[in-house]
Amino acid sequence: MQQTIRIGTRDSQLAVWQATLVRDQLVAGGHSAELVYIKSEGDIDLVTPLYAIGVQGVFTRTLDAALLSGRIDMAVHSMKDVPVQLAQGLAAAAVLTRANPGDLFVYKGDAAFLDDPESIATIATSSLRRRAQWLHRYPHHRIDNLRGNVNTRLAKVASSDWQGALFAAAGLERIGLRPANSIPLDWMLPAPAQGAILVACREDDTRIRSVCAPLHHEPTALCVDMERTFLSALMGGCSTPIGALAEIAGDHLRFRGNACSLDGKTCLSVEKKVPLPAELSAQAPTGESLAQASLGESRRAATADLARAAAGELLARGATTLIQKVTT
């Protein structure tokens, strides 16, 4: 008799959507799978700003514990919420194809105030990264804290005096809640691994690793690994005001990163490009086709070195001081 795969997930609408995507792909592959709902620390405390909770993995630790105890066989995470170092005994079983990695501004009324340097608008977000980058562009605006799942945050915006709020585009798009009154923030660098879904399992669980192999998208994994290496090299965490985005563009991998002060007055940026292996760029200029090729450990090492070099440039320009002011 086939053993049912137990998939751990938080119980928010977005988390369930992501876990259901994984379950449906497993079922399509001939496996039996079910969802197991587990509340995280971040779901219980919906008031305290995430950076003030003071622990890494506020959305992942309870799922990690359930995995290690054997209560579930795999856990599905928004990868941007996952600490750079997975909990001891756990491993990445798959990184799914990335959705829109960018951020959105959801506004009320109209957005004409964005072009008015005299407008003292109030914008809501719990993300230090979004806060810092927004204030860098709009230093005359005010920022209020906004916590809760996607639906809760949208409702709070509607009932508040705020002019708008900042969201991850993928979170709204995945559950069909992207409002018409929203603007993509192409100038804002996302959190490392934003828009990507990680499936984690026990390190020694070869069955689950094998089951998840068809779900894995190597181009996405290459890009998010580079972003997370950059974050790690800057000694940042999930709540630090650090942005990073790696993208496959033709025959190159383009990387952009930044680190900002909380008040947005200082924002240090860096950009790098590295050519893809000739055999890959010749075969496949697009991410979907690249998924059919193995990028190899040497390519991973090269892109990791590039991410560390990018971080090194920012550290040499004073990023250490910016990050220390957040983490101390």
Cα dihedral: 82, 87, 90, 91 (round 10): 50
Long-range contact set of residues 15-21: C-beta below 8 Å, sequence gap at least 24: 15/76, 15/78, 17/174, 17/175, 18/76, 18/78, 18/174, 18/197, 19/76, 21/96, 21/197
3-state secondary structure of 318: coil
HSE at residue 53, side-chain half, CA atoms within 13 A, is: 23
Residue whose structure tokens are 């991973």: 300
Query: Residue 110 catalytic?
Result: no
Pairing of β 197-202 and β 90-95? antiparallel
Of 297, 276, 294, whose CA–CA distance to 285 is shortest? 276
Exposure string (b/e) for 123-132, b if CB count within 10 Å is 16 or more? bbbbbbbbbb
CB 9 within 8 A of CB 16: yes
Element (H, E) at 169: helix 169-174
Catalytic residue among 11, 24, 73, 81: 81
Q: DSSP letters of 171-228?
A: HHHHTT---SSEEE-TTSPPPTTTT-EEEEEETT-HHHHHHHGGG--HHHHHHHHHHH
Q: Which residues contact 43 (CB under 8 A, 6 or more apart)?
A: 10, 11, 12, 59, 149
Q: Which residues are catalytic?
A: 81
